[in-house]
């Protein structure tokens, strides 16, 4: 059997591109370790992103919200591709989904929720705040999968494993990243709030936008009015962009682990229910937390401004937070996951 891993993932206006990005990080490491990765998606939406990264993408023509309907198709793909491992990154899979596939491949599931048990070989859950005990409780009386848990398994691109940020005396550049789809329009709302602040003209504001951002046209219109605002779309050198900034304002998700690996003083917030728990970054002393924008947008925006002022006027605060972040994530998680996926091929 060839060293081939099938990666089942989706990305669209609802799910955004973060899931595809983290799977691409793993795929690159699979390739680097002399394996082969083939992507499988429900629809065409993420195909361009995957193929631009140099990987084959098989489109199933199914509904990503009902993956149970694709089990037989996936079985056929596993057989035709002669793949021994299936890596799944989807919030919609069920126990029945995995049960219908486990006889054909080693099943590995990226489980962000840890709220159900699944008949899989292993789980990837890279939260730095929870994990093993919760999984053991979920799988009581069942076979416990291999656990690839903790910040050391955060599937980041290789560029995040080197060169931490240098904390500068003054804040000159702020990075804003609110999720690939930004379904709440958080970037635009933040800029609208910040533009009335006295420090607005003294700082460069770099807004990272994904290709699925439904507010991109409005953001570009805003940037035409203010020279200090830059809109960056489909950024390929994210680690470099992060190292150039002094502070980041970011939605929860894998991006927080990228910022942690680089050591950027960060203000984090949640934009969806599946991101609950982002406040742990603050309670553990790593980042500042601004709340849940979906539950209370105005409060979250105001808290972002308050945290931003603290960072702008607090060099020591930024320095201490950066040092703490560097102890959490080393940027080599994708490499470790790929090594695990390929270990049985020999």
pLDDT tens by residue, the chain, 346 residues? 468 999 999 988 777 788 999 999 999 999 999 999 999 999 999 999 999 999 999 999 999 999 999 999 999 999 999 999 999 999 999 999 999 999 999 999 999 989 999 999 999 999 988 789 999 999 999 999 999 999 999 999 999 988 789 999 999 999 999 977 788 999 999 999 999 999 999 999 999 987 778 899 999 999 999 999 999 998 889 999 999 999 999 999 889 999 999 999 999 999 876 566 789 999 999 999 999 999 999 999 999 999 999 999 999 999 999 999 988 899 999 999 999 999 976 4
My answer on whether 135 and 195 are in the same domain is no
My answer on whether 111 and 176 are in the same domain is no
My answer on whether 186 and 90 are in the same domain is no
- In contact, 6 and 81? CB cutoff 8 Å: yes
My answer on whether 172 and 123 are in the same domain is no
SS (H, E, C) the chain: CCCEEEEEECCCCCCCCHHHHHHHHHHHHHHHCCCEEEEEECCCCCHHHHHHCCCEEEECCCCCCCHHHHHHHHHHHHHHHCCCEEEEECCCCCHHHHHCCCCCCEEEEECCCCCCCCCCCEEEECCCCCCHHHHHHHCCCCCCCEEEECHHHCCCCHHHHCCCCCCCCCCCEEEEECCCCCCCCHHHHHHHHHCCCCCHHHCEEEEEECCCCCCHHHHHHHHHHCCCEEEEECCCCHHHHHHHCCEEEEECCHHHHHHHHHCCCEEEEECCHHHCCCCHHHHCCCCEEEEECCCCHHHHHHHHHHHHHHHHCCHHHHHHHHHHHCCCCCCCHHHHHHHHHHCCCC
CB contact set of 49 (below 8 Å; sequence gap of 6+): 11, 17, 20, 24, 211
Backbone φ and ψ of 329, nearest 5°: -130, 135
pLDDT at residue 281, as a whole number: 95
My answer on whether 301 and 203 are in the same domain is yes
pLDDT at residue 275, as a whole number: 60
My answer on whether 176 and 314 are in the same domain is yes
Sheet-wide strand order for 204-209:
229-233, 204-209, 173-177, 247-251, 266-270, 288-292
Backbone φ and ψ of 40, nearest 5°: -130, 130
Only one residue has tokens 């789980």, namely: 123
Exposed, middle or buried by CB within 10 Å (0-12, 13-18, 19+), for 29?
buried
Task: Give the angle 254-309-127 at the CA atoms, nearest 5°.
Answer: 20
What's the token pair of residue 155? 């599937």
Q: What is the CATH number of the domain that holds 220?
A: 3.40.50.2000
> Whose CA is closest to 154, among 5, 30, 22, 6?
22
My answer on whether 245 and 109 are in the same domain is no
Overall residue count recorded for the chain in this entry: 346
My answer on whether 148 and 177 are in the same domain is no
The residue segments making up the domain with residue 172 are 163-325
Only one residue has tokens 């899989």, namely: 120
What's the token pair of residue 254? 């894998």
My answer on whether 135 and 178 are in the same domain is no
My answer on whether 98 and 138 are in the same domain is yes
Q: CA dihedral defined by 290, 293, 299, 302, rounded to 10 degrees?
A: 60
pLDDT at residue 254, as a whole number: 86
My answer on whether 96 and 74 are in the same domain is yes
Domain count, the chain: 2
CB burial string 173-199: b at 16+ within 10 A, e below: bbbbbbbbbbbbbbbbbbbebbeeeee
Q: What is the CATH number of the domain that holds 36?
A: 3.40.50.11190
CB contact set of 297 (below 8 Å; sequence gap of 6+): 184, 189
Chain centroid to CA 219: 22
pLDDT at residue 2, as a whole number: 61
CB contact set of 233 (below 8 Å; sequence gap of 6+): 209, 210, 211, 213, 216
My answer on whether 289 and 336 are in the same domain is no
């Amino acid at each position: 059997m060839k060293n081939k891993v099938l990666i089942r993932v989706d990305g669209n206006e609802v799910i955004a591109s973060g899931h595809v990005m983290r799977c691409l990080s793993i795929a690159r490491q699979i390739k680097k370790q002399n394996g082969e990765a083939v992507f499988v998606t429900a629809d065409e939406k993420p195909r361009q992103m995957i193929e631009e990264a140099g990987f084959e993408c098989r489109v199933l023509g199914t509904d990503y919200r009902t993956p149970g309907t694709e089990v037989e198709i996936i079985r056929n793909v596993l057989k035709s591709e002669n793949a021994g491992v299936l890596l799944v990154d989807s919030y919609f899979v069920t126990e029945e989904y995995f049960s219908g596939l486990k006889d054909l491949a080693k099943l590995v599931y990226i489980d962000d929720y840890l709220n159900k048990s699944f008949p899989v070989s292993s789980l990837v859950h890279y939260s730095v705040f929870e994990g093993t005990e919760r999984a053991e409780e979920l799988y009581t009386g069942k076979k416990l999968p291999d656990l690839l848990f903790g910040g050391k398994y955060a599937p980041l691109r290789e560029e995040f494993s080197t060169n931490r940020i240098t904390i500068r005396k003054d804040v000159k550049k702020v990075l804003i990243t609110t999720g690939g789809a930004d379904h709440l329009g958080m970037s635009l709302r933040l800029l609208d709030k910040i533009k009335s602040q006295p420090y607005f003209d003294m700082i460069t504001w770099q807004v990272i936008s994904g290709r699925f951002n439904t507010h991109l046209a409005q953001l570009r219109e805003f940037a035409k009015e203010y020279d200090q605002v830059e809109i960056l779309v489909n950024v390929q050198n994210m680690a470099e962009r992060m190292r150039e900034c002094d502070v980041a304002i970011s939605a929860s998700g894998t991006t927080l682990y990228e910022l942690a690996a680089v050591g950027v003083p960060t203000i984090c917030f949640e934009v969806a229910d599946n991101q609950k728990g982002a406040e742990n970054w603050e309670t553990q002393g790593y980042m500042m937390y601004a709340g849940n924008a979906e539950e209370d947008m105005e409060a979250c925006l105001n808290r972002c401004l308050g945290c931003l002022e603290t960072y702008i006027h607090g060099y020591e605060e930024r320095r201490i937070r950066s040092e703490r972040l560097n102890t959490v994530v080393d940027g080599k998680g994708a490499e470790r996951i790929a090594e695990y996926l390929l270990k049985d091929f020999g």
